[in-house]
Structure 1
Amino acid sequence: MARPQKPRIVSDELPASYFKPQGIPLVSLSEIVLTLDGYEALRLVDVEGLDQQEAARRMNVSRSTLSRILAEARRTAATALTRGLALRIEGGAVTRPRDGGCGHRPKDSFEDGDMPNNSFEGPDRS
């Protein structure tokens, strides 16, 4: 039996929970899921330009775990782009900083079980 995942700190709010190719109705598309921790890893490393050690520290994971999360997130995003799939962002073992900040606070400043509100509005499939 695998051990439970340690919650990863995700500090950025999503601008959208779905991305899709333009001009194709969502109901006609297959979708692929990018986890919230994958989204955060992409944001920290590829958008913010942090090195993996600093990104791992902000997410409260080891550098090797960050590397695995990042590789999977990149594979998921590339698959969505190259195959014309809808990309849905949700799920994963994540928590948010208690103050809603950027994850710079020490580990003991987060409440146990502090989980994000994963109730994203679903796509309009009409």
Structure 2
Amino acid sequence: MTIPRPHDAPDHVADTSIGDLIGNISNDLSQLFRQEVDLAKVEMKQEATKAGKAAGMLGAAGFAGYLAVVLLSFAVVFGLANVMDAGWAALIVAVVWAAVGGVLFVNGRNKLKTVDPVPHRTVDTLKEDAQWLKNPTG
């Protein structure tokens, strides 16, 4: 079966069957899909590179902050050593840091208990999709 030819259509279009047209559409859609996937890969690689650089900077900032806390702690110890024995000064600073660490640990543990690892919305939509596949008209 061939498609009726309009007056200004080229000869090769008029001689193309419906099967060939559907095949061409299928090939074009496959090529379009592959191109979209390739584009997504390139974009994701670019974003991953930017995220990696940002993570590196954040890591370096965390390390710099850690060094600042250590050096400030030493400064507090040496400052307190001017008014008391250096051993007691170091012990006071250590106890303060232990208290800070304990509070942060308890707060972090309590927050961790509220984390739910199950993606409920995704599970619900997957169930809906499965239900629709079983009964697409309902």
Q: Which has the higher contact order (CA 8 A, sep 6+)?
A: 1
- The TM-score with structure 1 as length reference comes to 0.24
Identify the structure with the greater strand proportion: 1
